[in-house]
Chain A
Amino acid sequence: MAEQTAPLQRAGEPADGSVITADAKPDAAVVRDALGVGIAVGLSGFAFGVTSAGSGLSLLQTCALSLLVFTGASQFALVGALAAGGNPYTAAAGAFFLGVRNSFYGLRLSQLLALPRAVRPFAAHWVIDETTAVTLPQPTRRAARIGFTVTGLTLYVLWNLTTLVGALGAEALGDTDAWGLDAASPAVFLALLAPMLKTTTQRVTAGLAVVLALGLLPVLPAGVPVLVSALAAPVVLFVMGRGMGPVPKDEKHAKDEKHAKDTKVAKVAKDTRTITSEDDR
């Protein structure tokens, strides 16, 4: 997209008025993008509510997860591990490892948004796949802030409402398996995973993780096989070592590139965007 090529260091400068060129993006367009992602993903909180309640969590526990954890893959992983009989520590560890990627989103976002220190602890709760995917490509700081806020707010409100509805509805649905709702969680994981399978390294990692997870499932306690599967990442990195090009670490250079996408985090986030927003336009 052409509007992504604007140098980010111009963001937020008063020169905005004089640069209404292809670089500028109307607020309404940013809001529309943000709403598209926020609403589409927010509605899938219903699947989480049903899955969580179907896994035996109470209404309060289910809603607490969406309100307090608010990072979908971790939530699904946690209830999946608990439903499979995992102990709370391995279940939480698996959910946490999935949440670690948000740290890397935050690194990029903190530069783009330049939030006051006092605001960061609150903004942190919204640092997830979708807000990152919407925020990173914005051409200006103003657009980035609007994108982040609108996506975060829409998604947070909808995700929690639909979680509640799903959890309440789970009982009315009776046997949720008969409705096929036990397939929702692996489908969510697959949708998040698919855009990350671009390189050989990524595919080999995924393949090895699947082999480990399924191979160890019958022999290790519930929850542990997934944690062991995470080792596929360092193992493949070690073995394939120099297979991937170096990741530029100099931010100033990255800003001057055509896109910010040459950093890994930006790439992952951008890819997430392809499943959440591009097709909705």
Chain B
Amino acid sequence: MNVWIAISLTTVGCYLAKLLGLLVPAGALERPLVQRLAALLPVALLAALTAQQTFGDGQQLVLDARAAGLAAAALALVLRAPFLVVVGAAVVVTAGVRALG
């Protein structure tokens, strides 16, 4: 049940966020401060999520094969690899490290 609550709230929230942009007259959300915040908010959230899903295990911090996978993804990004290759590199390296370990 909890999962459906989360899905419903996310569905409604994300849809309204998308619709708002299309309906709101330009200018309302174009104030520089609002724009900067909107540009920075994903940076903070994505960085936090990346770190947590790489080094978190429940409420514990761990260093495991995922860190190697993420390093591979970072390397792929530096080499300007396409999206799928980046994700694939993380998966393959993580699996590889686990198989060896």
Contact = CB atoms under 8 A, between A and B. Distances in A.
A210 B18 contact: no
B42 A217 contact: no
Interface stretch (A14-22, A25-33, A137-145, A228-236): A228-236
Contact of A177 (B39, B73, B98): B98
Contacts of B56: 84, 214, 217
A100 B56 CA distance: 25
The majority secondary structure among interface residues of chain A is: helix
A191 B77 contact: yes
B17 A96 contact: yes
Contacts of B82: 40, 275-276, 279-280
A24 interface: no
A190 B70 contact: yes
Contact of A190 (B18, B29, B35, B73): B73
Contacts of A208: 44
Interface in B28-42: 29-33, 35-42
A163 interface: no
B50 A180 contact: no
A5 interface: no
A244 B40 CA distance: 12
Interface in A155-201: 177-194, 196-197, 201
A101 B97 CA distance: 35
Given A88-B6, A110-B21, A217-B56, A210 B11 contact: no
Contacts of B36: 237, 244, 247, 264
A44 B43 contact: no
Given A84-B58, A234-B37, 5 more contacts: A40-B84, A106-B20, A115-B22, A209-B47, A251-B26
7 contacts: A61-B4, A82-B6, A91-B10, A187-B69, A190-B86, A192-B46, A229-B44
Interface of B: 2-7, 9-11, 13-15, 17-24, 26-27, 29-33, 35-56, 58-61, 65-66, 69-70, 73-74, 77, 80-84, 86-87, 89-96, 98-99
